[in-house]
Homo-oligomer: A and B are copies of this chain.
């Protein structure tokens, strides 16, 4: 029997690079083909969702199956293309497992770009961008997003701030000094493009804090007095931002 393939979390959706449109034929990559044919045991006639970040979501039928690959054919558009709110997450790199988790959660929480930043107190100085991108694709497929967040190359704090576009406000999660509560600060702040800045374990150093606080488009905030791990702080700030300024309203 042909059917729409489902996993416990919802229907099967694949992120592809190819253009999508009525009758368009798409060859999934090796990993996706393996997943469809050998994990999900898909057969000709089964249906999955496809998205590419540009053409909306399409219901596609498995048209041909070989031993190691298959071809999908787009049948109809099931959702028009939509974007997540214009929110970036700028974060100091963390260890592998928390980094996997952060990428996955930030994608679910609807971030548009992930920007790792090298701060003075950053201990983890290598970032596995390929791994981050793979995690972002998987989370986008499972969360129902129609786009995958952009994973940017690691940049130094100073260079990033020097080239910062003034139109994009910065929500600076400041562990060190006095800052207004995040809910109050966001209520009073304007809409538009934003970025959340979260530091490494131990926080931004005094020079970085001063540099951020000197900029007119920076909103420093506090997430209370308990010590949050770097990934917790990032996910909390993303959640509160989505509730106050994003698409959870």
Contact = CB atoms under 8 A, between A and B. Distances in A.
A46 B227 CA distance: 23
Contacts of A224: 110, 242, 246-248
Nearest to A145: B226
Contacts of A183: 243-244, 248-249
| Oligomer copy total | 2
Interface stretch (A53-61, A155-163, A207-215, A232-240): A232-240
A222 B240 contact: no
Nearest to A237: B239
A101 B98 CA distance: 9
B123 A226 contact: no
Among the interface residues A123, A142, A239, A247, which one has the most CB atoms of the partner chain B within 10 A? A239
B109 A249 contact: no
Contact of A144 (B8, B226, B247): B226
Interface string A101-132: 10011001110000000000001000000000
A96 interface: no
Interface residues of A, number: 41
B144 A182 contact: no
Interface in A158-188: 181-184
A247 B235 contact: no
Interface in A132-162: 142-145
Given A108-B229, A224-B242, 10 more contacts: A9-B202, A108-B227, A142-B229, A143-B226, A144-B227, A182-B243, A223-B248, A224-B246, A235-B236, A235-B239
Interface of A: 8-10, 101, 104-105, 108-110, 123, 142-145, 181-184, 201-202, 222-229, 232, 235-237, 239-240, 242-244, 246-249
10 contacts: A105-B229, A105-B235, A109-B236, A181-B243, A183-B248, A184-B249, A222-B248, A223-B239, A223-B248, A224-B247
